[in-house]
Amino acid sequence: MTAPLIQLQPHDEHNQALEANVHPQRWTNPTPTRPYQLVVVGAGTAGLVTAAGAAGLGARVALVERELMGGDCLNVGCVPSKGVIRAARVAAAVRDAEPFGVEVPRGVAFDFGKAMQRMRRLRAQISPNDSAQRFAEMGIDVYFGKASFVDDGTIGVTASDGSAVQLNYKKAVIAAGARASAPPIPGLDSVPYLTNENLFSLTELPKRLGVIGSGPIGSEMAQAFARFGSEVFLLERSDKLLPREDPDAAAVVQKHFEKDGVQMLFGSKDLQVRPADDGAICVQMVQEGTTREVVVDQLLVAVGRAPNTAGLNLEAVDVNHDQSGIEVDDFLQTTNPRIFAAGDICSKYKFTHAADFQARIVIQNALFSIGPFGKKRASGLTIPWATYTSPEVAHVGMYEHDAKSAGIEIDTYTQHFADVDRAILEGQEDGFVKVHTRRGTDKIVGATIVAENAGDMISEITLAMTAGLGLSKIGGTIHPYPTQAEAIRKLGDQYSRTRLTPLSKKILDILRRMNVGS
C-alpha cells in the first residue's frame, strides 16, 4: 500500500471518511493471475470512466492509482471549490439582501471554519461514487501504487512498502492527469505558498490573500475569499481579468470583482517573493515600470498545470511526450498503437467533463474497433466550459478571434439580461448571451454566456451545436416564462428578423392584404 502524495488536512472525521473511500489504509492489492485486456493508469475522471465503461462491456480491467481515487476533481478541484464558492455566494447574498427587504442590523458574521467543514462533509458524502470498493465490486482489479512501464505489454506497480507486482496487458490507457505547477518566480520556494492541492485544507481565513493568476481557479478563489472577508490582491500579467475569455464577458466579471473588493493588479511583471515579518509573505512586482509590493498572509499560485508523466517510464514503450503532455492523435492513440491516453495528461481541454467524454472515445477505439472501422475522433466533441465566478462565464465553440484566424465569416447576436424580465426580477441584469453563426446562416459556431447560472445555460447551445440545430430552431422552441433561458430564445428571434428581406416583406404584405384588406 502506498501513501498518497496529496495530504488532506485537517484529519477530521470527514477527511477520514473520504480517505477510507478513495485511498483505504488497509487495502490489499490483488495478485494478478493472467493478462488484463485493459490496464488503466490513473483513477481520476478519465481513468474511472474508462475502467468502469470497459468492465461494464465485459473487459478484464486493472486500475492503478498512486494517490486519491477521484483525482483532482473530487479531492482538490471541482468539488471542494464549488463548495467554497457556494458559501461565498450565500455570504454575498446576505450582504446584498437589503433591497429585498431583508435587514442584517449587525452585519454579516462569517464562520470560515464552519464553511470549510461543510465542504469537507459534502466532499466525503460524494466520495463513495469514486471509491476503491465500488470499482472492485464492478469486477475491476484496483491497485494502489506507483505505475511504471516495464516493456510493451507490462506495467510495474510498486507500493509504499516496497512490494511490487507486474501487470501484463493487451491494451493500456494513461489517464494520470496533471497537477499544479509553479512558475519560476524568484524566492517562491522560500515561502509556504498555496496551490489548489492545499488551499482546501485551510481552517482559518487569511486576513490578506495574494493570488497569482486570474484564470478560472485564481479568479474563482479571489472573489470567494474577498466575499468571506479577506483582503485580496489578484496579480495578473495581462491587462485584464480572465485573459482567455471574451473581453466583454471579462469586463462584466471585473465590475463585480470591484464591488466585492478584489484588488486587481493588472500588468504585474517581474514578480519576486520573500518572507516578511510574522510569517507573512511579501510579493514584489513591476507595473508600468514602477516597482511596488504587497504583503499577504497566504499566497495562492494559480497559474499552470503540468502533466503527471514523471516516473511512468514512457520511453520504454515509445510513447512520445513533452512538457505539455502525452502526444496523441485524433483517436487518442499514442505513438505506441497499444497505448491510449485521455484527460488532462494529453488534452488542452482540462475539464472533468472533457475527460469523461474522451474516456468514452478511448473505450471504443481501444476495445471495439477494427483497423479504421468503428473509431471515434476526439475532434468530434463539442466541449463547453464555465468559470464559476459571480456572474459565471460559460463558453462553447469559437470566439470571435478564433473565427477570424480560421477565415470564417460570422454574424454575432447578443441579448443582454437587462432586457430579460426574469433577470430584472432577480436583480441580475448584468450579463448577456452572445452567439456566433456562420455568416448568412443560423449555424451556431460559438457562444458565450455571462449570467449567475451560465454554466447550466450553456448546455442548451451545446446541444444545438452537437445536434446540428440552428439558431432558428432555438427561436422556435417554447421556453417557460419568466426564465433567464429566454435570453437564448430571443437570439433566435433576432436571427429570424434578419431573414426579412425586401422581397419577403412584400410577399407578407400581399398575404396580409389578401386576408384583412388594406
Pick from 388, 233, 372, 326: which is nearest to 46 by CA?
326
CA–CA separation, 501 vs 504, rounded Å? 5
Query: Is residue 314 within a helix (H) or strand (E), and if so which, with residue range?
Result: none
356 with 175: CB under 8 angstroms? no
What is the C-alpha separation between 102 and 105, in angstroms, rounded? 10
288 annotated as belonging to a binding site for a ligand: no
Could you give the 3-state DSSP secondary structure of residue 502? Answer: helix
User: Is 456 annotated in some ligand binding site?
Assistant: no
- Annotated binding-site residue? 343: no
Count CB-CB contacts under 10 A for residue 42: 31
Report residue 395: phi and psi, to 5°: -145, 150
Report which of 211, 218, 215, 220 is spatially closest to residue 193, judged by C-alpha positions: 211
The reply to whether 32 sits in an annotated binding site is no
**CB-side neighbour CA atoms (13 Å) of 213:** 22
Q: Look-up: residue for cell 470560515?
A: 112
CA distance 230 to 209: 6
Residues listed for the chain: 518
Distances (CA, A) of 106 to 99, 109, 228, 275: 16, 8, 16, 37
Answer whether 216's CB lies under 8 Å from 387's CB: yes
Q: Is 430 annotated as a binding residue?
A: no
Burial of 312 (0-12, 13-18, 19+ CB in 10 A): buried
98 annotated as ligand-binding: no
362 phi and psi angles, rounded to 5 deg:
-60, -45
**Residue 82 counted as an annotated binding residue:** yes
219 carries a ligand binding annotation: yes
Confirm whether residue 344 is marked as ligand binding.
yes
Q: Which residue has the cell 477494427?
A: 370
DSSP assignment letter at 103: -
What type of residue is 328? Answer: V
Say if CB 299 and CB 210 are below 8 A apart.
yes
Provide the 8-state DSSP code for 316.
Answer: G
Annotated binding residue 217: yes
Give the residue numbers of the binding site: 82, 213-220, 236, 304, 344
Give the residue numbers of the binding site for NAD(+): 213-220, 236, 304
Give the residue numbers of the binding site for FAD: 82, 344
